[in-house]
Chain A
Amino acid sequence: MTRNRQTPLARRLAAAAFIALGVAALVSAQQAKRILLVDKESNVEIVGYSGFNIKYLGKGRSSVTATGKPLVVNWTTQEMNLKTSRFVGTVAQGEGRSLELESATLTGVDMLLKRASAAAGSTAKQELVMTGESGTYTASTSTLKLLGGIKIERKDPAAEQSMTLTGASATIILYPNPLPKGARSAMKSGEVAGPVRIEVNSVRVEEGKKLASKIVATGNRLDLSDPDSTMTLTGNVRITGNDPALMGDVTANKVTMKFDAKGNLEEIDAVGEPTNAKLGIPPKGAARR
């Protein structure tokens, strides 16, 4: 039988050495993460800086200028993850001991928002990723403005819906988190200047069978409204796809597509000259393109 022959002093020294090693490891991990700022409720966290300057503005507000490769801003209550190479913005006191992001001008934008899935009863998350060469974010109006080769991707696997949108610039109004009842994505509305291309994928259920639906639309401008469940394309509009509601290609000056609660194309309204469209829900069993 082995007996512990350590003296009380030796045990205390060993314990102190163990604690010192733990503290050193923690500091090392924090330095590796390059934490610039984190609030006491871990709500807003800015990490990955390469340089920074923070100036106190009074009344709990501070201006933050920071660079990184990338600089990462995590905002827990908004389920937001933002990657950028340069951030110039302000943070302010939030509720409790938290901070909130007020506004930011960004060079290189890669913003991910997670929200509840649009699938009824699902606990899964959907994702909205918005990228651009530069942008501005204003929390008070929940507005993200993107410039330069913008791309917006929405993926909601539980609801079997996805959307990919590209354009030259965009102004996006975001819903708060959690989403209000009936909202289908984090994007409440949007104006996208073109040339614009949008691809919408969903699954239609007909007679118990799941049918994949794809719609590809291009135009000079796109306006989206989640409350109205519409997407309106204007200027040199062309729509193709295999959705049965489409029944062929559409070319027009202006096209408004209305979607149902499951994200399927419900109605399509085309105007202008020339217009070439075959519209309406086809009879059951109609041949699909």
Chain B
Amino acid sequence: MLHIAVLDDHPVARHGLKSMLAALPDCDVAVSVASLDEARAALGDDPRIGLLVADLYLDGGRPSISAISEFAERLPVLVMSASARRADVIGAIRAGAAGYLTKSSSPELFRSAVMTVAAGGFFLAAELADLLQAELAASAATIEAVPRLSDREEETLSYIARGFTHAQIATRMHVRKSTIDTYVERIRTKLQVGNKADLTRAALRRADAAEPRPDTQ
């Protein structure tokens, strides 16, 4: 049985998440909280929790990137936010989130993400892959320390952004599906190594200059 904690400051959103998670086999929403303090307390009290589904904007105008970083050291974190801003997505992944979904994601995508992240994997949605490819290219142009993806990793990222499943990509690239899983893990690792603070700041600067602030939830 997978015990899940839900962190969202909107009661209706928490209720929706609970409903969707309840439909998954062997899942139980053990904790449903609205604030970071409540989440810290609940996670401390209940060591069985195996997954945190967290909103990024909690009762304020700034994303809770540092909190994601704090929680990600203890358990897998799946971020679910209304924001699709590149800075938020990249910031959350670099802070250690194992997946990022926007609130417009389909229930099937959500279930798939929960199962992947709960199993210790990195859930790379097509939308996220598109953002990552853009970010890595932009970072590589401005920051020398950015690790470069290999050709095969770049190819994998591109196929994911086009909407292919790992199994379909494996067929197209004539490798096993486990190899694609490995490429995805390597992409995640490369994204999170190096001077994270510098990379995140650079991403935030670029994104802030290019995009308006989103509505927060």
Q: Do A and B bind each other?
A: no
